[in-house]
Amino acid sequence: MSMMLVPLELSALASRRGWLSPELAVGWRLARQAMDFFDGLEQVRIAATGSTDTINALRALARYPKQGSVVIPSRLMPWDVLFFHQITGTALKVVLIRKHIALPPELKRIENDLSHCSPELLRRYQEGLDARVHGIIRDDLERFSHITEIRCRVLAPDSSQQARCCPWCQAHNPSALLDQDGRICCPACSVLRSLWQTDAVIS
């Protein structure tokens, strides 16, 4: 593992994993951002797709509904990571900019054959890896991700706004209807995609 200075929490996570990758740093950075935004992760559900390292970093900091809980959807989602605050019905939708996370092709080629590389190639690989991880830790989040705040509240069953079908997909008698930033929809049409359809705050 690199001797580059990294935050203690990320260093401990990398030590447990045995390596420090850009994807691991991304998961840690996003979890820290959500922790700051929501003032902790005690009531925050997390779902994620993509890199195993990113998911494992999120699991290391996840606290709700139990420690290490991260939902991995079985189908394609319009986001890479989703944080959902149980009490306020607020979601953070994260779409990653992968070209600013993944190592460039020339470093990936070295990575695929590290055991046979010359000291010069190893040095070049380590410097490139350090630069990419350092950027993820220090740069603005906007450089490698698009983060959108979304309000997603379950409508009370007796609400006058409650329709008997989803205005978007026309599904009849959905289990619930949600107000997502002023748009009424069923859980499947919402940013939650039925992951936690009854857990949003009721208005």
Domain ranges for the chain = 8-148
| Domain at 8-148, CATH class | alpha beta
The per-residue pLDDT for 113 is: 83
Instruction: Yes or no: say if 178 and 185 are a contact pair by the CB < 8 Å rule.
Output: yes
The per-residue pLDDT for 3 is: 55
Helices (H), 46-176: 52-61, 105-111, 119-138
Q: Is the pLDDT of residue 1 over 50?
A: no
Q: Is the pLDDT of residue 51 over 90?
A: yes
Q: Is the pLDDT of residue 79 over 90?
A: yes
Tokens of residue 43, six digits: 């009531």
Separation between Cα atoms, residue 86 and residue 65, nearest integer Å: 10
Rg, Å, the chain Cα set = 20
Point out which residues pair with 46 in neighbouring strands: 83
The mean per-residue pLDDT over the stretch 110-131 comes to 89
The mean per-residue pLDDT over the stretch 171-200 comes to 81
Flag the least confident range among 47-61, 83-97, 147-161. Answer: 147-161
What percent of the chain shows pLDDT beyond 90? 62
The per-residue pLDDT for 203 is: 30
Does the global pTM surpass 0.95?
Answer: no
Q: Is the pLDDT of residue 154 over 50?
A: yes
Between 113 and 135, the higher pLDDT residue: 135
The per-residue pLDDT for 187 is: 87
Q: For residue 132, what is the DSSP state?
A: H
The per-residue pLDDT for 63 is: 95
What band does 200 get if pLDDT is binned at 50, 70 and 90?
Answer: very low
Instruction: Yes or no: say if 137 and 29 are a contact pair by the CB < 8 Å rule.
Output: yes
Residues 160-179 have pLDDT tens digits of 455 578 889 998 888 888 89
